[in-house]
Amino acid sequence: MDRRGSVVGPQSGLPSPSPRDPLLFPDSHMDVQGYKWVRWRVWLCRLAALLSLGLLLILFHWRPRLAVLARCRSCPLALADILLLRDSFGQQHVVEVLTEEMEEGSWEVLAGQEDAEWRDTVQLYEEEKTLLRYYRFEGLRYVWLSRKGAFCSVSVLNEDWTCKDVHNFKKGLNLLEQSLRRRLYGANLIDVPVKSYMALLVEEVLNPFYVFQIFSVILWAIDDYYIYASIIVVISLISIGISLYETRKQSGTLSNMARFVTNVTIRRESGQEVRVSSEDLVPGDCLIIPPEGLVLPCDAALLAGECLVNESMLTGESVPVLKTSLPAVDRKYSSESERRHTLFCGTQLIQAKGGHSGGGGAVAVVTSTGFFTAKGNLVSSILYPQPINFRFYKDAFKFMFILGFLAFIGSVYIFVVLYRANVSWLQLIIRSLDIVTIAVPPALPAAITAGTIYAQSRLKSEGVFCISPPRINVCGKVSLFCFDKTGTLTEDGLDVWGVMEAGPAGFSELVPDPRHLPTGPMLSGLACCHTVTLLRDELIGDPLELMMIESTGWTLQEPEEDVHTMDAEFGGHKVLAVMDPPTGSSQAMAIVRRFPFSSVLQRMSVVTVARGGRSALAFIKGAPEMVASLCRPETVPSQFASELRNFSSEGLRVLALAYKAVDVNSDLKTVDREDVEKDMQFLGFLMMKNQVKKESGEVINMLTAAQVRSVMVTGDNILTAVSVAKSCGMVAPEEKMIYVIANPHTGRSMPTLRFSLEDGGSAGANGSIEVLTQNLSQGGFAYHLAINGKSFAALCDYFPDDLPKVLMRATVFARMAPDQKTQLVKELQKLNYRVGMCGDGANDCGALRAADVGVSLSEAEASVASPFTSKTQNISCVPLLIREGRCSLVTSFSLFRYMALYSLIQFICVIILATERTSPGDWQFVFWDLVLVTVLALVMGMGGPSEVLHSQRPPASLLALPVLGSLFVHICMIALGQTAALLITTSRDWFVPLNSTVFGTANLPNMENTSVFALSGFQYIIMAIVVTKGYPHKKPLFYNWIFFCVLIVQLTLMTWLVLYPGPAFGQLLQLYDFSDMNFKLLLVAVAALNLLVCFLVEVLIDLGILNCLRLLRGTHPSKKQYKRLNNLLSDSSSWPPLNQTMTPRYHTVVSIS
């Protein structure tokens, strides 16, 4: 048996019983190694920990893998006590294998209920007892399945459920089955552990930052820096206290949000309905939903009735959604594909009806519990965020190693100097180690988060909420932003623009007001084909459908207490809603079956019955191309394509309707969707005007000026999308639109790819096409591509070489299904774009999560949909996010550089003074670190973002030439400045050398120390001024008035300490009292010169003076693939090949390595 295995996750999407979404849960496929305890190794490690005074345990705490390797031996997974997991990001985790004894014969009961996977589980592990072997990781359970030879998520045990299988649970589980399932799946809890203050304290103190701090404090105390050490201890304790309070408060808040236990009604196999705690629910339980609804404690498939659900917490969609019963068909159940029939955990069920006895309430079957639910996904995304692949964070830790190397050199230098001075060995060791605590500032990693904290606070005040603060810095590097159309770029509300009926002779005249339509199927279809429902006498539903109903003048009624009376009025069919025309109730129609809109299917349909049950009609509404494909060809007018093109080109939202007669004597309640939606008769078009939001054009123009590409990704018609793209400025009036038409392989034809010019380009003269093709290359980006979902799929499958080139020039992606939106984001990321995505609905959730920066327009403060949620219902939040991201990134850069330079100033100061056999005093360190540096670091990041988006993005690499170059120059200036101060002092006639028979603070005050202290004090302030960047990504320095005031106060304070410190401060700081005023002024002048030189150097580096060094190595192509590809396409005169039909064997001129 293998010692190494894998965790087998389920094979489909969010949420369970299908597996965890790989975007949210990348650990669904992990590399797993099994280990078994070795007793003698365990005891040896305990002894080593004792002898090392606990240092070995601290090392094991930081590196759990080492603890496993030291105490255990490798073994087959089936026998393992400990597992070492490696996730897809390369991070390692250690988990313990747990066992639970199962009753004899229990597996046979379960095996009788399920198929193959349960039978696997029967053979879990056998010794003398039947044991269930499992482990928990990030809230999920993984059980051992011997036939697979792997630990599998428990959700795989029901991932093969079909919709018919789900319906089979309608009768409920018996007590034994329920008990066994609960033992297997665990309690239905999303349990966020809230640790005690003592546990949090231990974790905090064992953080490398505080371990280093403890080491430093001990070292300082031994070196007689008692005051400084005491102050650092007090500050650290205050910091730890605040951190513990905030951590526990956040854990408590999340725990209260996550943990939800209520009493629910379930049906037993006997038919009895009992009240149980939601904690005891398991997949397969039959849940009875009351008419007044409830907050759902699990994920469930709706089997009978309809539910009105508020899903804003999950999707950001503020409009309640109508859920209908799951069809009992023989296809695989997935909560994603069947989301219109799935109730998600944590959502508010506002109303339930038509599914239980008496017509009230509904019936559902539990499909997922605990962390496998949609709410569990949300909590998991907060508890276990994905590591962010951002260069700035990687470089920050590499930079720590550079400082560590400098510290090593400094230690060696100090050791040699002191060894020659014949100091004691204790002093030698302490001084050599002390330089490490100076050169490597423990607060450096914390400094990079300061800019993010300030930005998050500013965003919150603007109504933008963030659940992943590190992504704020990523916003600063976004190079492309995708936008949904409806509700994002355009208004939510739609106005009915007109109706055009189809008939045997073609289309009739346009009817602007549907009320003027003659009585017939078209008018009935407009009134009945919807999922609108009543809540407390108010119509609730999709804004488009609300406007459609209003335009007909029909009114909606729903069955109340006496439902059977209304059923009897319509032939005994179960009535969901009744639509009454204004002309008289005799023509009323009852909706008896609804098939909700699906963005994948691009349609919705209903089955209606006339009063008296005389006849039944099915209506369908959706994308014109889809509806036409489901109609009998002879009923679709020949002008269909041209009329659709005309209306769509005007930016109208076009829907098509169709109908057919249904056998009224059949069981309409159980009729299949596939049977309803075929052989329809085409009715005509409904046109709706969707206005572009006034902010959309302004924002798109702003992003274009800032060289951030804008792309539209919509489920709407391609011509409508192109019209909106032109209206909002994505496509300029003088720019051409080229349509990408790709066809998949069929039995009759090869896959083809064609680029067709708009406005009938194919019909134009060949000469004009050639001229245009030349102009495309000469004019740069003077054209845009538009592609629909069908062509996008064919392009991905059959023309992968052309896909990157299309992505580089495509601006409109229309008729895109939700999974295609996600795929598009990933393909753009492969080109090294930093991709943003802005949307407002459930269809965008996958793309929002896949994007580097996802922004959901929603009233909710946090949703699983995206890292950012904006309460402003337009895209004005996008430039705000980018501006705040750039400001945060620049601030993080500034703070990081400042903290590094602060350490190096002190490092150089200590090195110079150690050479002179002295060192800074206790209160001098306190003054530098607390009065100067800490205050500056706290207020430095307060400056807000620039009001304008600049065309140049800020750098993200700390190891880039400008950053390292400026640091090198500043270090040289720092060293020169301090050395100059020392040499000026020693060159004076009145100079008196210090007492060389003692070392360190014993010979304070002295002239050398005082002069170097004075200049280094100025340098802390100088570097804060130099590295604090304003233009172009932050407001100028004086806008941060607190920082500006602090600088003036500190410069005044330092000048006063140099010119006239006074006896009190002079004695406290152990400063030598120089009597020569000219000398003191000279020191201030040296500091001013230091500021001037460093500031000029920084300005010159910002202007690109170091770029001349790059010329020495020659020009190199950009590391970003999209930039290289853009250069190649700009130089190509043959791409895109207009009006040429290409096959997969066709090779174009442009290629990219």
Q: Which active-site residues does the annotation give? A: 484
Closest Cα to residue 445, out of 961, 899, 90, 889?
899
If you search the block for the tokens 């007669």, which residue do you land on? 661
Q: 929: which DSSP letter?
A: I
Asked whether 862 and 467 are in contact (CB, 8 A), the reply is: yes
What's the rounded Cα separation, in Å, for the pair 443 and 930? Answer: 13
Residues in the chain: 1153
Three-class SS of 37-97: ECHHHHHHHHHHHHHCCCHHHHHHHHCHHHHHHHHEEECCHHHCCEEEEECCCCCEEEEEC
- Among residues 59, 896, 889, which one has the least CA distance to residue 402? 896
Is the alpha carbon torsion for 1054, 1059, 1062, 1063 positive or negative?
positive
Closest of 989, 888, 986, 993 to residue 943, by C-alpha:
888
Would residue 228 be called left, alpha or beta, if left means φ above 0 and alpha means ψ between -120 and 50 degrees? alpha
Closest CA to 1035 of 543, 454, 439: 454
Q: Are strands 98-101 and 150-153 parallel, antiparallel or unpaired?
A: unpaired
Helix axes 425-439, 877-915, angle to 10 degrees: 160
Beta strands in 968-1059 (DSSP E): none
Do the bridges between strand 810-814 and strand 783-788 make them parallel or antiparallel, or are there none, so unpaired? parallel
What DSSP designation does 851 have? S
Q: Are 243 and 175 in contact (CB under 8 A)?
A: no
CA 414 to CA 432: how far, in whole Å? 6
Tokens of 579: 């639509």
The structure tokens 């907050």 sit at: 295
SS (H, E, C) 704-747: HHCCCEEEEECCCCHHHHHHHHHHCCCCCCCCEEEEEEEECCCC
Q: Convert 525-547 to b/e letters by CB count within 10 Å (16 or more is b).
A: bbbbbbbbbbeeeeebbbebbbe
Q: How many CB atoms lie within 10 A of CB 565?
A: 11
What distance in Å separates the CA atoms of residue 806 and residue 1144, rounded to the nearest whole number?
A: 15
| CA distance linking residue 893 with residue 877, whole number of Å | 24
CB distance 598 to 340 below 8 Å: yes
Residue 960 φ/ψ region, left for φ over 0, alpha for ψ in the -120 to 50 degree band, beta for the rest = beta
Q: Which residues contact 612 (CB under 8 A, 6 or more apart)?
A: 569, 570, 571
**Is the alpha carbon torsion for 930, 933, 939, 941 positive or negative?**
negative
Query: Peptide bond preceding 512: is omega within 30 degrees of 0, i.e. cis?
Result: no
Other Cβ atoms closer than 10 A to 260: 18
Helices within 758-876 (DSSP H only)? 766-778, 789-798, 803-809, 818-830, 845-850
Cα separation, 933 vs 926, whole angstroms: 10
Q: What H or E segment, with its residue span, contains residue 1058?
A: helix 1041-1059
